[in-house]
Amino acid sequence: MNSIIEEQLRKCKVADLSRYDAGSRTYDIPRYNQVRMVEGKSYVIRLDASLLKPNPGDAFHVNWNRGRLPISEAMLVEVGNVNGKAVYVYGIGYDLQADAPTQKAWDGWLPIERLTIIRSL
């Protein structure tokens, strides 16, 4: 690694240098495995807490959903459209403990990197 880059990384408060090998002066960057969703398929998903109570600077819901927030932390969804890093879903709330859907319905866009697939149906 270039000494200037190494110096700058050491100044960062959030830099992760655990993958840096000083002997070979290389930094290993792991491959990111993105969640893959298929149009027309149904999933039980869990949403990141930042989707239910977004930060003031998070403009995703304003720009993509006109300010509408998801109704539940877990949802049973059918994928309507996949657009890059966002997915349009038709869904209903889901109670993971009872393993049953609730009566609350919601449709809108969700960022793929902020959801977890619990089960594919």
What's 1's DSSP letter? -
Are residue 58 and residue 111 in the same domain, yes or no? Answer: yes
Per the structure block, which two tokens stand in for 53?
Answer: 């109570």
d(C-alpha 101, C-alpha 89), whole Å: 15
**pLDDT, tens digit only, all 121 positions of the chain:** 678 887 887 777 666 667 778 888 787 776 655 678 889 999 999 998 888 888 777 788 888 888 888 989 999 999 999 988 889 999 999 998 888 899 899 999 999 888 889 988 8
- Classify residue 89: in a domain, yes or no: yes
- Classify residue 36: in a domain, yes or no: no
d(C-alpha 47, C-alpha 40), whole Å: 19
Instruction: Give the bridge partners for 101, in sequence order.
Output: 94
Token pair 């996949």 is at which residue? 82
Are residue 109 and residue 52 in the same domain, yes or no? Answer: yes
Token pair 């889901």 is at which residue? 94
Are residue 67 and residue 91 in the same domain, yes or no? Answer: yes
Q: What is the pLDDT, as a whole number, of residue 84?
A: 82
Q: Quote the domain boundaries for residue 11.
A: 1-30
Q: What is the pLDDT, as a whole number, of residue 11?
A: 78
Which positions ≥6 away from 53 have C-beta within 8 Å?
Answer: none
Q: What is the pLDDT, as a whole number, of residue 79?
A: 95
